[in-house]
Amino acid sequence: MTDMKKISFLLLTMALFAVTAYGCNSSNGGNETSGASGGNGEAKIEFLTKETFKQKIWDYEKNPRTWVYEGDVPALIDFYADWCRPCRMASPILEELSAEYEGKIKIYKIDTQVERELASVFQISSIPAFLYIPMKGQPTMDKGLKDKAAFTRIIEQILLKK
C-alpha cells in the first residue's frame, strides 16, 4: 500500500469512528426526560424546547424587557451540548440533585445545538452554563463544571435561600 493510500485509509477510519462515536453519544433528541419515574427516589430532568421554555420558565417574546418566572418552584437550567465532555460530566450530578431536591426545585436541560435561539437569548458563549432561577428576583447565570458540593451550596443559597 502506498503512503497516500495508507493516509487516506487512516483518515477514513478516523472519520467513521468519529461519526459512530457522536451517534452513540447523542441522546434524548432535545425533549425527553432522563432518570426513572416515581417510587424509587429518582426525579426526572426535563429537556426544554423554545416552546416549553416559554410555557414553564419565561415567555421572553411576550415580556421581552421584564423577567416573569412561570414556574411553581425554583429551577436550575443546564445549557449543554452532547459533544461537550464537561457537560456530560455534570449530567449524573444533576440527576442526583434532581432526586435529592425533588419537589423543592426543578432541573431542566437545554441543548444549545438544537435550541440556538434560547442560547442566544442568554448569551451563552461557553458551556456548560447554568441558570439558577429563584421564585422571587432575577435569575443568576454561572458557567463551568462544578462538583456536587458546589451545586448544593448554590442551590441552598440562591434557590432555597437557606
Q: What is the pLDDT of residues 101-153, one digit of tens each?
A: 999 999 999 999 999 999 999 999 999 999 999 999 999 999 999 999 999 99
Closest residue by Cα to residue 127 from 77, 82, 87: 87
Look at residue 29 and tell me whether its pLDDT is greater than 80. Answer: no
Q: Is there a catalytic annotation at residue 87?
A: yes
Which of 84, 121, 145, 158 does the annotation list as catalytic?
Answer: 84
User: Looking at residue 7, what is its pLDDT?
Assistant: 52
Q: Is there a catalytic annotation at residue 24?
A: no
Question: Cell numbers at residue 43, please?
Answer: 426525579
What's the topology of domain 28-159?
A: Glutaredoxin (3.40.30)
Which of 57, 75, 76, 87 does the annotation list as catalytic?
Answer: 87
User: Looking at residue 94, what is its pLDDT?
Assistant: 98
User: Looking at residue 78, what is its pLDDT?
Assistant: 98
Domain boundaries of the chain, sorted by first residue: 28-159
Residues 6+ apart with CB under 8 A from 39: none
Cell 443559597: give the residue.
157
Q: Which residue intervals of 26-162 are DSSP H helices?
A: 50-56, 85-100, 116-121, 148-154
User: Looking at residue 6, what is its pLDDT?
Assistant: 52
The confidence band for 162, taking pLDDT boundaries of 50, 70 and 90, is: confident
Look at residue 5 and tell me whether its pLDDT is greater than 50. Answer: yes
Query: 106 with 73: CB under 8 angstroms?
Result: yes
pLDDT in tens, 88-107: 999 999 999 999 999 999 99
pTM here is 0.76
User: Looking at residue 24, what is its pLDDT?
Assistant: 35
